[in-house]
Amino acid sequence: MVTAEGSVVAMDDASIVWKPKNGRQKRVKIEVQASVLLGLIGPRGIVDRVVAGDEYGGVNLISLTTMEVVDRFVVGNSMVRSLCSSSISGESILVGCEDGSVHMVGCNVPNRVVSLFELDGPASALRIVGQDLHIQQGWERKIVSWTGQKSLVSA
């Protein structure tokens, strides 16, 4: 993942490496190899945290400043395929897994993890547009509500 301030690399030994343009390289090791990365923009307008989904259904929140895992959520035992930031419930992340399950995670989410719905296959990309979720599955794009029901908007 490339940002204006540097790059983040997920390594095959489960390390996440931050290579800033100015300063020394830093690294942190997560429990399992990362499968997807998402940068979160902080109050200063720059990416200051990274969310790393992993191969065993974990979602790791990493501070780039301290290179520490500041929180970890587990959505199941299926690989995380896609992540999307959401402002619906404060700081929350929409998570799509290999088994087709879609979850919301975050400190402000009830019980920290909520299962939203199941798809008929993995979501390779998730995006929130207005009140709908746009989900890419291979060449097909689905537009659904937060319950997984097909939206009235056409894709």
119/72 Cα distance (integer angstroms): 24
Considering the domain boundaries, does residue 128 fall inside one? yes
Query: Which range of residues forms the domain containing residue 68?
Result: 6-144
Considering the domain boundaries, does residue 87 fall inside one? yes
Are the CB atoms for 115 and 96 separated by under 8 Å? no
Total domains in the chain come to 1
Look up the CATH number of the domain holding residue 26.
Answer: 2.130.10.10
Question: What does the pLDDT average to over 96-116?
Answer: 93
Considering the domain boundaries, does residue 135 fall inside one? yes
- Give the model confidence (pLDDT) of 46-58 as tens digits: 899 999 999 999 9
Considering the domain boundaries, does residue 150 fall inside one? no
Across 42-131, the runs of DSSP E, i.e. the strands, are 47-54, 58-63, 68-74, 80-86, 92-97, 101-105, 113-118, 125-129
Give me the sheet containing 80-86, strands edge to edge: 80-86, 92-97, 101-105, 113-118
Considering the domain boundaries, does residue 129 fall inside one? yes
Are the CB atoms for 51 and 37 separated by under 8 Å? yes
Considering the domain boundaries, does residue 100 fall inside one? yes
137/50 Cα distance (integer angstroms): 24
Considering the domain boundaries, does residue 18 fall inside one? yes
Considering the domain boundaries, does residue 17 fall inside one? yes
- Give the model confidence (pLDDT) of 68-105 as tens digits: 999 999 999 999 999 999 863 347 999 999 999 999 99
Q: What is the pTM of this model?
A: 0.89
Length of the chain: 155
Phi, psi for residue 152 in degrees, rounded to 5: -70, -20
Listed as own residue / partner, the contacts of 98-105 with beta carbons closer than 8 Å and 24 or more positions apart are 98/122, 101/75, 101/76, 102/126, 102/133, 102/135, 102/148, 103/75, 103/76, 105/59, 105/73, 105/75
Residue 68, both tokens? 């520490």
